[in-house]
């Protein structure tokens, strides 16, 4: 693998995680629990799409085959997406959506802050912008997880159910392979081990304040890096790809 | 705090300052259960397109409002007293914001 190929894979991986979570959050458009949260979730969705677009454009440039960000978004089959499994998990209810968001926001918060020092100026720039956005996203998801976890009997139970379901997808965020090894050496990518330590330091007290119990002996799920997805992903793509498949000549 | 009548929380009034130094303007309201949530909701609902750089949120029930019956006694006396407007002076050129 050349450095250029590694960079291409790295950019796609980052972009896909943003893109797919953006798509999941967009599913709340018009169906949020109330107007303010409906807007909050679609706002966050748009932030994620913005980050994804910037990364996809750069990925196209690195790839050098003349593909566009739209083609990468709408013309790739399931196995070519390398997002983490966590972000493709269904919304279920507002509680599960906001817990999933806390896990990603806390990761993004520490990750982008490090990545903004990347030796690659485009990655550093995208990370610096996303870092500001994520600071707000984290504040939002953190306060909701505490409010709902330490809320009514029903809200607590829903949050606990969500945690039991989603905890097994959290470790994949910190997975590294030869792509990371190569790019860390070039100071383009960042080592995710220290990010994991910070993430745990952030997330565990929030869950504890929310009176939630982290499930024990969880078998951590993985596979996104190799394009192996959960059963939910195909349905998500089918919806996301519907318009460009039905109307191949459609433009923005 | 006002009793919550539905599941969306109390109503908070939102004021946005477009730029530092300018007055805060009322832009609308949001529902929220606490200060932090009111602030976040105001940010999400009213500042998505660069409307401002600072926000105030105030629980609606802390706003003291004049009532429609007060219109006569409050505001009519101002109608026939043109001498309260400094329109009899010629303003020097270059004076603004008056």
The CATH number of residue B55's host domain is: 3.10.20.520
Residue B37 lies in a domain: yes
Residues A3-214+221-246: name the CATH superfamily.
Answer: Ferritin, core subunit, four-helix bundle (1.20.1260.10)
- Separation between Cα atoms, residue A167 and residue A217, nearest integer Å: 11
In a domain, B65, yes or no: yes
Residue of A nearest to B35 (CA): A143
Are A35 and B45 a contacting pair at CB < 8 A? yes
Predicted confidence (pLDDT) per residue in A162-175, tens digit: 999 999 999 999 99
On the 0-12 / 13-18 / 19+ scale of CB atoms within 10 A, A238 is exposed
pLDDT of chain B, 98 residues: tens digit per residue: 455 556 788 999 999 999 999 999 999 999 999 999 999 999 999 998 889 999 999 999 999 999 998 888 888 877 777 777 777 777 788 877 76
B37–A34 C-beta distance less than 8 A: no
Q: What is the ipTM of this complex?
A: 0.73
Residue B13 CA to its chain's centroid (Å): 8
At residue A139 the predicted structure's pLDDT band, cuts being 50, 70 and 90, is: very high
The structural domain count of chain B equals 1
Query: In this structure, is residue B25 part of a structural domain?
Result: yes
Span A84-112, average pLDDT: 98
Q: What value does the mean pLDDT of chain A take? A: 96
**For residue B78, is it within any domain?**
yes
Residue B29: domain span: 10-84
Q: Do B30 and A143 touch (CB under 8 A)?
A: no
In chain B, the residue whose alpha carbon lies closest to the alpha carbon of A46 is B48
C-alpha–C-alpha distance, residues A104 and A96, integer Å: 12
What are the sequence ranges of the domains in chain A?
3-214+221-246
The rounded distance, in Å, linking the Cα atoms of A189 and A185 is 8
Q: Which residue among B7, B30, B36 sits closest to A36, beta carbon to beta carbon?
A: B30
pLDDT digits (tens, 9 = 90+) for A53-67: 999 999 999 999 999
Do the Cβ atoms of A147 and B43 come within 8 Å?
A: no
Which positions in chain A touch B44 (Cβ < 8 Å)? 36, 39-40, 43
Nearest to A39 among B33, B37, B45 (CB): B45
> Count H helices, E strands: chain B?
2, 3
Task: Assess if residue B93 is contained within a domain.
Answer: no
* B90 occurs within a structural domain: no
Phi, psi dihedral angles at B59 (to 5 degrees): -60, 130
């Amino acid at each position: 693998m050349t450095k250029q190929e590694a960079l291409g894979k790295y950019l796609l991986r980052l972009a896909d995680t943003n893109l797919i979570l953006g798509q999941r959050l967009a599913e709340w458009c018009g169906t949020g629990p109330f107007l303010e949260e409906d807007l909050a979730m679609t706002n966050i969705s748009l932030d994620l799409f913005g980050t994804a677009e910037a990364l996809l454009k750069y990925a196209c440039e690195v790839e050098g085959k003349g593909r566009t960000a739209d083609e990468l978004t709408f013309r790739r089959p399931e196995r070519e997406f390398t997002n983490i499994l966590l972000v493709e998990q269904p919304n279920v209810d507002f509680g599960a959506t906001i817990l999933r968001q806390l896990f990603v926001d806390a990761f993004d918060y520490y990750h982008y802050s490090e990545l903004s020092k990347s030796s690659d100026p485009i990655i550093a720039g995208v990370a610096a912008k996303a870092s500001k956005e994520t600071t707000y996203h984290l504040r939002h998801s953190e306060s909701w997880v505490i409010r709902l976890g330490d809320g009514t009997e029903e809200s607590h139970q829903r949050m606990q159910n969500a945690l039991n379901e989603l905890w097994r997808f959290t470790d994949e965020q910190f997975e590294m392979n030869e792509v990371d090894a190569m790019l860390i050496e070039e100071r383009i990518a960042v080592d995710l081990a220290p990010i994991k330590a910070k993430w745990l330091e952030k997330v565990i007290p929030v869950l504890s304040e929310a009176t939630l119990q982290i499930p024990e002996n969880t078998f951590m799920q993985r596979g996104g890096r190799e394009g192996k997805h959960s059963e939910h992903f195909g349905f998500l793509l089918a919806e996301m790809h519907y318009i460009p498949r039905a109307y191949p000549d459609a433009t923005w | 705090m006002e009793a919550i009548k539905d599941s969306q929380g109390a109503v908070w009034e939102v004021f946005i300052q477009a730029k530092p130094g300018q007055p805060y303007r009322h832009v609308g309201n949001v529902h929220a259960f606490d200060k932090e949530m009111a602030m976040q909701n105001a940010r999400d609902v009213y500042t998505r397109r660069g409307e401002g750089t600072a926000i105030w949120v105030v629980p609606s029930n802390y706003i003291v409002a004049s009532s429609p019956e007060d219109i006569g006694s409050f505001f009519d006396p101002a109608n026939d007293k043109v001498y309260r407007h400094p329109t009899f002076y010629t303003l020097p050129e270059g004076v603004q914001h008056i």
